[in-house]
Amino acid sequence: MPLNAGDVVRVAIRQRGPQGQDIVNVIHYQADAAIASSDAEIMDAIVATADTAYAFLNYFTPSTQRPLDVRADVVRLQNNQIVIVRPLGARSWGFQYDPKESGNVYAPTIAAGILLRTLAPRVLGKKFIGALMETHMYDYGHLSPDLMAALAQYAARLLMPILLQGGALHAGVLSKRIGQFVRFVEYEIKNVPFVIRRRRLGIGR
Protein backbone atom coordinates (compact mmCIF):
# COMPACT_ATOMS: atom_id res chain seq x y z
CA MET A 1 0.00 0.00 0.00
CA PRO A 2 1.51 3.37 -0.92
CA LEU A 3 2.32 6.17 1.50
CA ASN A 4 0.70 9.59 1.27
CA ALA A 5 2.68 12.81 1.42
CA GLY A 6 3.25 13.63 5.09
CA ASP A 7 2.75 10.07 6.36
CA VAL A 8 5.04 9.25 9.25
CA VAL A 9 6.75 5.88 9.59
CA ARG A 10 8.05 4.68 12.94
CA VAL A 11 11.01 2.34 12.57
CA ALA A 12 12.21 0.22 15.51
CA ILE A 13 15.64 -1.35 15.02
CA ARG A 14 16.14 -4.14 17.52
CA GLN A 15 19.23 -6.01 18.66
CA ARG A 16 20.06 -8.51 21.38
CA GLY A 17 22.83 -7.12 23.57
CA PRO A 18 25.79 -9.00 25.05
CA GLN A 19 24.05 -9.32 28.42
CA GLY A 20 20.89 -10.63 26.78
CA GLN A 21 19.16 -7.24 26.91
CA ASP A 22 17.04 -5.74 24.15
CA ILE A 23 18.65 -2.74 22.46
CA VAL A 24 16.10 -0.78 20.44
CA ASN A 25 16.63 2.41 18.48
CA VAL A 26 13.51 4.11 17.18
CA ILE A 27 13.63 6.52 14.25
CA HIS A 28 10.71 8.34 12.68
CA TYR A 29 10.59 9.14 8.98
CA GLN A 30 8.20 11.32 7.00
CA ALA A 31 7.25 10.92 3.34
CA ASP A 32 7.92 14.15 1.43
CA ALA A 33 5.52 13.17 -1.39
CA ALA A 34 3.11 10.40 -2.31
CA ILE A 35 5.18 7.22 -2.45
CA ALA A 36 4.00 4.53 -4.84
CA SER A 37 6.31 1.78 -3.58
CA SER A 38 4.77 -1.33 -2.02
CA ASP A 39 5.14 -2.05 1.69
CA ALA A 40 7.72 -4.73 0.87
CA GLU A 41 9.80 -2.28 -1.17
CA ILE A 42 9.59 0.33 1.58
CA MET A 43 10.69 -2.26 4.16
CA ASP A 44 13.59 -3.33 1.92
CA ALA A 45 14.77 0.27 1.68
CA ILE A 46 14.42 0.88 5.43
CA VAL A 47 16.30 -2.31 6.29
CA ALA A 48 19.05 -1.45 3.79
CA THR A 49 19.46 1.98 5.42
CA ALA A 50 19.61 0.54 8.93
CA ASP A 51 21.96 -2.21 7.85
CA THR A 52 24.45 0.04 6.08
CA ALA A 53 24.34 2.61 8.90
CA TYR A 54 25.02 0.06 11.63
CA ALA A 55 27.74 -1.58 9.49
CA PHE A 56 29.92 1.46 10.26
CA LEU A 57 29.89 0.21 13.86
CA ASN A 58 30.96 -3.38 13.09
CA TYR A 59 34.40 -2.92 14.65
CA PHE A 60 33.11 -1.00 17.67
CA THR A 61 30.36 -3.40 18.74
CA PRO A 62 30.86 -6.68 20.60
CA SER A 63 30.44 -9.82 18.51
CA THR A 64 28.06 -11.14 21.16
CA GLN A 65 25.57 -8.44 20.15
CA ARG A 66 23.30 -9.63 17.37
CA PRO A 67 20.74 -7.87 15.14
CA LEU A 68 17.20 -9.17 15.66
CA ASP A 69 14.60 -7.39 13.56
CA VAL A 70 13.44 -4.11 12.06
CA ARG A 71 9.77 -3.24 12.53
CA ALA A 72 7.98 -0.37 10.85
CA ASP A 73 4.52 1.10 11.30
CA VAL A 74 2.73 4.06 9.83
CA VAL A 75 1.84 6.25 12.81
CA ARG A 76 0.21 9.58 13.54
CA LEU A 77 -0.45 11.90 16.45
CA GLN A 78 -3.94 11.63 17.90
CA ASN A 79 -4.85 13.54 21.05
CA ASN A 80 -1.14 14.10 21.55
CA GLN A 81 -0.42 10.37 21.56
CA ILE A 82 1.37 8.42 18.85
CA VAL A 83 -0.99 5.78 17.48
CA ILE A 84 -0.38 3.12 14.85
CA VAL A 85 -2.32 3.62 11.63
CA ARG A 86 -1.13 0.37 10.05
CA PRO A 87 1.90 -1.90 10.27
CA LEU A 88 4.33 -1.83 7.35
CA GLY A 89 6.09 -5.03 8.28
CA ALA A 90 8.92 -6.68 10.20
CA ARG A 91 12.16 -8.00 8.75
CA SER A 92 15.31 -9.65 9.95
CA TRP A 93 18.45 -7.65 9.28
CA GLY A 94 22.21 -7.90 9.74
CA PHE A 95 23.40 -8.57 6.21
CA GLN A 96 26.20 -6.01 6.33
CA TYR A 97 25.94 -5.28 10.04
CA ASP A 98 27.95 -8.01 11.68
CA PRO A 99 29.55 -6.93 14.98
CA LYS A 100 33.08 -8.25 15.26
CA GLU A 101 34.80 -6.67 18.26
CA SER A 102 35.90 -8.70 21.26
CA GLY A 103 36.78 -7.52 24.75
CA ASN A 104 35.09 -6.12 27.81
CA VAL A 105 31.85 -4.20 27.53
CA TYR A 106 30.67 -1.46 29.84
CA ALA A 107 27.50 -1.65 31.87
CA PRO A 108 24.42 -1.21 29.63
CA THR A 109 23.52 2.07 31.34
CA ILE A 110 26.19 3.96 29.43
CA ALA A 111 26.33 4.29 25.69
CA ALA A 112 27.78 6.44 22.96
CA GLY A 113 25.31 9.20 22.18
CA ILE A 114 24.21 11.08 19.11
CA LEU A 115 22.29 14.31 19.38
CA LEU A 116 20.04 15.02 16.39
CA ARG A 117 18.82 18.60 16.11
CA THR A 118 15.88 20.05 14.23
CA LEU A 119 15.06 23.63 13.29
CA ALA A 120 12.38 23.68 16.02
CA PRO A 121 13.67 24.92 19.38
CA ARG A 122 13.93 22.23 22.07
CA VAL A 123 12.81 19.50 19.68
CA LEU A 124 15.63 17.05 19.19
CA GLY A 125 16.42 13.38 19.00
CA LYS A 126 18.90 11.40 21.07
CA LYS A 127 20.21 8.05 19.96
CA PHE A 128 22.01 5.80 22.39
CA ILE A 129 24.46 3.48 20.70
CA GLY A 130 25.59 0.53 22.78
CA ALA A 131 27.03 -1.63 23.99
CA LEU A 132 30.11 0.45 24.61
CA MET A 133 33.45 -1.34 24.83
CA GLU A 134 36.44 -0.59 27.05
CA THR A 135 38.83 -0.56 24.10
CA HIS A 136 37.01 2.44 22.62
CA MET A 137 37.05 4.56 25.77
CA TYR A 138 40.12 6.68 26.47
CA ASP A 139 41.35 8.55 29.52
CA TYR A 140 38.79 10.45 31.57
CA GLY A 141 36.00 8.35 30.07
CA HIS A 142 36.22 9.94 26.62
CA LEU A 143 35.20 8.12 23.46
CA SER A 144 38.01 7.28 21.04
CA PRO A 145 38.31 9.41 17.87
CA ASP A 146 37.84 6.28 15.74
CA LEU A 147 34.54 5.53 17.44
CA MET A 148 33.45 9.17 17.06
CA ALA A 149 34.23 9.06 13.33
CA ALA A 150 32.27 5.82 12.97
CA LEU A 151 29.34 7.38 14.86
CA ALA A 152 29.48 10.37 12.52
CA GLN A 153 29.29 8.08 9.49
CA TYR A 154 26.43 6.19 11.13
CA ALA A 155 24.53 9.40 11.86
CA ALA A 156 25.15 10.81 8.37
CA ARG A 157 23.78 7.59 6.84
CA LEU A 158 20.66 7.68 8.98
CA LEU A 159 20.05 11.28 7.99
CA MET A 160 20.25 10.56 4.29
CA PRO A 161 16.76 10.45 2.72
CA ILE A 162 15.48 6.97 1.84
CA LEU A 163 14.67 7.26 -1.86
CA LEU A 164 11.52 5.47 -3.06
CA GLN A 165 9.15 5.62 -6.03
CA GLY A 166 7.71 9.12 -6.18
CA GLY A 167 9.38 10.53 -3.09
CA ALA A 168 11.64 9.99 -0.14
CA LEU A 169 11.50 9.34 3.59
CA HIS A 170 13.26 11.91 5.80
CA ALA A 171 14.32 11.22 9.40
CA GLY A 172 13.06 13.47 12.18
CA VAL A 173 10.98 13.75 15.32
CA LEU A 174 7.23 13.29 15.61
CA SER A 175 7.01 15.88 18.35
CA LYS A 176 4.19 15.79 20.87
CA ARG A 177 5.31 19.18 22.15
CA ILE A 178 4.66 21.03 18.91
CA GLY A 179 2.22 18.47 17.51
CA GLN A 180 3.96 17.84 14.22
CA PHE A 181 6.85 16.14 12.50
CA VAL A 182 10.13 18.04 12.14
CA ARG A 183 13.16 16.87 10.20
CA PHE A 184 16.63 16.42 11.59
CA VAL A 185 19.07 18.94 10.13
CA GLU A 186 22.10 18.34 12.30
CA TYR A 187 23.90 15.67 14.24
CA GLU A 188 26.35 16.24 17.03
CA ILE A 189 28.69 13.70 18.58
CA LYS A 190 30.50 14.49 21.79
CA ASN A 191 33.35 12.56 23.31
CA VAL A 192 31.42 12.13 26.54
CA PRO A 193 29.18 9.05 26.71
CA PHE A 194 25.46 9.28 27.41
CA VAL A 195 23.80 7.64 30.39
CA ILE A 196 20.58 5.72 29.79
CA ARG A 197 17.81 6.04 32.33
CA ARG A 198 15.96 2.77 32.44
CA ARG A 199 12.22 3.25 32.36
CA ARG A 200 11.44 0.61 34.93
CA LEU A 201 13.65 -1.06 37.51
CA GLY A 202 14.65 -4.56 36.50
CA ILE A 203 13.77 -4.02 32.85
CA GLY A 204 16.67 -4.19 30.44
CA ARG A 205 19.06 -5.14 33.27
Pick out residues in 7-36 that bind other proteins (CB under 8 A).
none
Nearer to other proteins (CB atom), residue 85 or residue 124: 124
| Radius of gyration, CA atoms only, the chain | 17
124-129/162-164 β-pairing: unpaired
Q: Is there binding between residue 149 and other proteins (CB under 8 A)?
A: yes
Q: Which residues pair with 169 in a beta bridge?
A: 31, 162
- In the three-class reduction of DSSP (H, G, I as helix; E, B as strand; rest coil), residue 59 is classed as helix
Residues 45-84 within binding reach of other proteins (CB under 8 A):
none
Q: Which of 91, 106, 142, 166 binds other proteins (CB under 8 A)?
A: 142
Least separation in angstroms between residue 195's CB and other proteins is 17
Q: What is the footprint of other proteins within residues 174-193 (CB under 8 A)?
A: 185-191
Burial class (CB in 10 A: 0-12, 13-18, 19+), 136: buried
CB of 136 to other proteins, least distance (A): 13
The nearest distance, CB 37 to other proteins, in angstroms, is 24
Per CB under 8 A, the segment of 44-52, 72-80, 140-148, 174-182 that binds other proteins is 140-148
Distance separating alpha carbons of residues 15 and 25, to the nearest angstrom: 9
- Interface mask toward other proteins for 96-135; x: CB under 8 A: ---------------------x-x----------------
- Only one of the segments 18-26, 59-67, 155-163, 193-201 lies at the binding site for other proteins (rule: CB under 8 A); that segment is 155-163
Distance CA(51)–CA(157), nearest Å, equals 10
Torsion sign over Cα 104, 108, 109, 110? positive
DSSP 56: T
Contact 84, 75 (CB under 8 A): yes
Give CA–CA dist 136/16, Å, rounded: 20
Q: Select the residue interacting with other proteins from 36, 156, 178, 195 (CB under 8 A).
A: 156
Q: Which residues bind other proteins (CB under 8 A)?
A: 117, 119, 138, 142, 145-146, 148-153, 155-156, 159, 185-191
